[in-house]
């Protein structure tokens, strides 16, 4: 399809872009994140079924003291063997019900929690790795905390909802059972529950702040540790290992102090909760004993009330923990929402470019694959012709990294600074979707990441079924690496740590060459390889029929280029080598 015919579909494309912007603009509040964990993808029905089973389990537990009291009054005291057998059968059936209901509820809850956590992780990762990038930069340690600890806590709200509903049902069921025996005892249960919930809500207020401080400190410690391990070889090489250890110890101590403070607050909170539950249970037991002494209730009813009081002790203590349970989850939900809602680093393409901008952008390419200005101060435009190997000699490393980030769309570009050829016409980068541009122009960072997996996956990508192309493997001088690693199925280790720096660079070259991009940009691709290997790569790149840009100060690489542009202080000056 030509670009002219594709313009007939512009309206549909602009509509899709508008829909995408609406989706990205959606604000994820903590409440919405909880809803994703609980009800998305049909989990609401499963959660309802699991909660119903847990409620049945709790009511069955509350029924046990009632059955025991009835057995005493109607079978033991009258010495009726048949009634005793019947009531013992009812008791056994109740135990069977509460066991089966809990096991079934647990199986359902594992699915709700597991898939809810997966959904939150997918959402979090998709926002971290969004095509338009995020204005909030996160370290590897922070990213790990977001997608593990925080999503774990937020997804755990499913257990909180189900168990807390079951606890409330148990308290109501026990209170109604007591209502038959003594209305006053029922009033004591409801009054103590309400009072405990109010008191514990007041006590729990400092927990939210301390929980947030604890999570932030743990994230900082994790980030320092991850950065330490990622740059371990470099730190040892420059003799900075002791300084790195000192920084980690400081971050770890801060995390320990915050965790200790939060733990003490939680322990005090739980102590108050247990104390209030014990006081309510003691009052209820004393009141029941007085009723029994006065002859207002039977021996069996006394046993029932005491059993329910013991049962309610645990339920009231659990009810007292509701606020603290939600506070920690709310703190994690707020952290996730802040990260997910961070603004895009790159602006979305306009829904419909104005005529003047479209005419300026959609000019004939005339054999040019890419046009860019290396600087923002009115520097000369550099045209990259289709099929040529263009060398860029930067004035310093900062200039090289900045140009690599610009061509890789890792920084916001100004209008008119970069244009790419599409179906014979040049289009401004600002009018293109970020993912579309990166499919046409591949520019790996100078320090690119090799993810955990096999050597084949490092070159072709995870999930790819295509075999590496021998010509491109030869151009990247990877044959010796394949042999040393043990074949294509050999593991490269976490972040490629089983490979040397030069081997990782050559994998990056092979990965870039295996893409279907129209233009490949290589940023100092041979800075860590030996001279012989560098000469082989330079010669192979010059023989490939690809449009490529090499940003380098290496004389060997630049000598192999069709054209070299020198980014000196006096401005770009081009010379032809061939």
Collapse the DSSP code of 425 into the 3-class scheme (helix H, G, I; strand E, B; otherwise coil) and give the result. strand
> Would you say residue 11 lies in a domain?
no
Query: Which pLDDT does position 12 carry in this prediction?
Result: 38
Q: Is residue 335 one of the residues assigned to a domain?
A: yes
Q: 251 and 118 in one domain?
A: yes
Domain final position from 340, 371, 406? 340
CATH code of the domain containing 450: 3.40.50.300
Per-residue pLDDT of the chain in tens (578 residues, 90 and over written 9): 443 334 334 433 433 444 344 444 568 999 999 999 999 888 999 999 999 999 999 999 989 988 998 899 889 888 899 999 999 999 999 999 999 999 999 999 999 999 999 999 999 999 999 999 999 888 777 888 889 889 999 999 999 899 989 999 988 888 888 777 777 767 776 677 677 667 766 666 666 566 666 666 776 776 677 666 666 666 677 777 788 788 878 888 887 887 777 777 767 767 777 777 777 777 777 777 777 777 777 888 778 877 877 777 777 767 766 777 787 788 889 989 999 999 999 988 887 655 544 544 467 778 999 999 998 776 789 999 999 999 999 999 999 999 999 999 999 999 889 999 998 899 999 999 999 999 999 999 998 888 889 999 999 988 787 889 999 999 999 999 999 989 999 999 877 888 988 999 999 999 999 999 999 999 999 999 999 999 999 999 999 999 999 999 999 999 999 999 998 755 444 444 44
| Confidence at residue 20, expressed as pLDDT on a 0 to 100 scale | 41
Residue 160 forms part of a structural domain: yes
Same domain membership, residue 392 and residue 296: no
Are 372 and 303 within one domain?
no
The span from the CA of 536 to the CA of 520, in Å, is 18
Which tokens hold the place of 94?
């109740």
Does residue 3 sit within a domain?
A: no
pLDDT at 447: 87
Tell me whether residue 164 is in a domain: yes
Give the separation between CA 548 and CA 517, rounded to whole angstroms: 10
Residues 472 and 520 in one domain: yes
* Cα 327 off chain centre by: 20
As a whole number of angstroms, the distance between CA 211 and CA 410 comes to 35
The CATH number linked to 204 is 1.20.1560.10
Same domain, 370 and 291: no
Q: Are residues 333 and 421 in the same domain?
A: no
What CA–CA distance (Å, rounded) separates 305 from 291?
Answer: 11
Among residues 305, 340, 375, the one where a domain terminates is 340
Number of domains in the chain: 2
Do 282 and 414 lie in one domain? The reply is: no
User: So what's the pLDDT on residue 13?
Assistant: 42
Q: Is residue 316 one of the residues assigned to a domain?
A: yes
What pLDDT is attached to residue 373? 93
Q: Which domain holds residue 569?
A: 363-576
Q: Which residue has the tokens 């109607």?
A: 74
Same domain? For 243 and 370 the reply is: no
Q: Domain check: are 446 and 539 in the same one?
A: yes
Question: Are residues 369 and 316 located together in one domain of the fold?
Answer: no
Q: Is residue 429 within 8 Å of residue 419, measured between CB atoms?
A: yes
550 occurs within a structural domain: yes
Q: Helix/strand/coil (H, E, C) string of 430-492?
A: HHCCHHHHHHHEEECCCCCCCCCCEHHHHHHCCCCCCCCCHHHHHHCCCHHHHHHHCCCCCEC
Same domain, 479 and 512: yes
- The answer on 311 and 226 residing in a single domain is yes
Q: 54 in a domain, yes or no?
A: yes
Where a domain ends, among 340, 355, 371?
340
CA dihedral 319→321→323→324, nearest 10 degrees, is: -170
């Amino acid at each position: 399809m030509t670009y002219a015919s594709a313009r007939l579909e512009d309206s549909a494309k602009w509509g899709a872009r508008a829909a995408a912007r609406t989706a990205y603009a959606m604000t994820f509040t903590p409440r919405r994140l909880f809803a994703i964990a609980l009800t998305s993808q049909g989990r609401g029905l499963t959660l309802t079924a699991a909660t119903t089973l847990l409620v049945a389990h709790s009511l069955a537990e509350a029924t046990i003291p009632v059955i025991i009291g009835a057995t005493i009054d109607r079978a033991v005291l009258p010495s009726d063997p048949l009634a005793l057998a019947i009531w013992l059968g009812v008791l056994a059936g109740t135990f069977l019900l509460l066991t089966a209901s809990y096991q079934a509820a647990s199986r359902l809850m594992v699915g709700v929690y597991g898939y809810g956590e997966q959904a939150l992780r997918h959402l979090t990762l998709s926002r971290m790795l969004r095509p338009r990038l995020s204005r909030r930069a996160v370290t590897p340690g922070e990213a790990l905390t977001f997608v593990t600890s925080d999503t774990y806590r937020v997804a755990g709200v499913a257990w909180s909802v189900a168990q807390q509903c079951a606890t409330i049902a148990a308290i109501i069921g026990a209170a109604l059972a007591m209502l038959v025996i003594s209305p006053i005892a029922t009033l004591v249960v409801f009054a103590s529950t309400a009072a405990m919930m109010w008191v514990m809500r007041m006590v729990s207020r400092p927990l939210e702040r301390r929980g947030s401080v604890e999570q932030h400190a743990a994230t900082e410690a994790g980030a320092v540790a991850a950065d330490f391990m990622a740059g371990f070889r470099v730190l040892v090489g420059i003799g900075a290992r002791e300084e790195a250890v000192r920084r980690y110890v400081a971050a770890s101590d801060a995390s320990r102090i915050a965790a200790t403070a939060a733990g003490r607050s939680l322990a005090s909170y739980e102590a108050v909760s247990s104390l209030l539950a014990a006081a309510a249970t003691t009052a209820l037991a004393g009141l029941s004993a007085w009723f029994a002494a006065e002859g207002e209730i039977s021996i069996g009813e006394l046993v029932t009330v005491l059993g329910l009081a013991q049962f309610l002790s645990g339920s009231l203590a659990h009810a007292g923990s509701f606020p603290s349970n939600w506070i920690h989850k709310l703190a994690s939900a707020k952290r996730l929402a802040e990260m997910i809602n961070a603004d895009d680093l790159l602006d979305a393409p306009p829904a419909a470019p104005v005529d003047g901008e479209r005419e300026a952008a959609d000019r004939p390419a005339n054999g040019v694959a890419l046009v860019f200005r290396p600087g923002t101060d009115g520097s000369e435009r550099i045209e990259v012709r289709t099929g040529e190997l263009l060398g860029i000699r930067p004035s310093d490393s900062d200039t090289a990294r900045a140009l690599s980030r610009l061509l890789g769309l890792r920084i916001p570009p100004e209008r008119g600074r970069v244009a790419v050829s599409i179906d014979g016409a040049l289009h401004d980068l600002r009018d293109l979707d970020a993912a579309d541009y990166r499919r046409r122009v591949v520019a790996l960072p100078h320090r690119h990441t090799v993810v955990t997996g096999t050597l084949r996956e490092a070159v072709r990508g995870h999930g790819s079924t295509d075999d590496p192309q021998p010509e491109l493997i030869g151009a990247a001088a990877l044959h010796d690496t394949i042999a040393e690693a043990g074949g294509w199925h050999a593991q490269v280790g976490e972040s490629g740590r089983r490979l040397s720096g030069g081997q990782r660079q050559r994998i990056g070259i092979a990965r870039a060459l295996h893409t279907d991009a129209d233009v490949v940009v290589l940023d100092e691709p041979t800075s860590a390889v030996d001279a012989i290997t560098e000469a082989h790569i330079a010669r192979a790149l010059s023989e490939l029929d690809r449009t490529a840009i090499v940003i380098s100060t290496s004389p060997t690489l630049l000598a192999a280029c069709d054209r070299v542009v020198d980014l000196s202080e006096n401005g770009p000056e081009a010379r032809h080598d061939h």
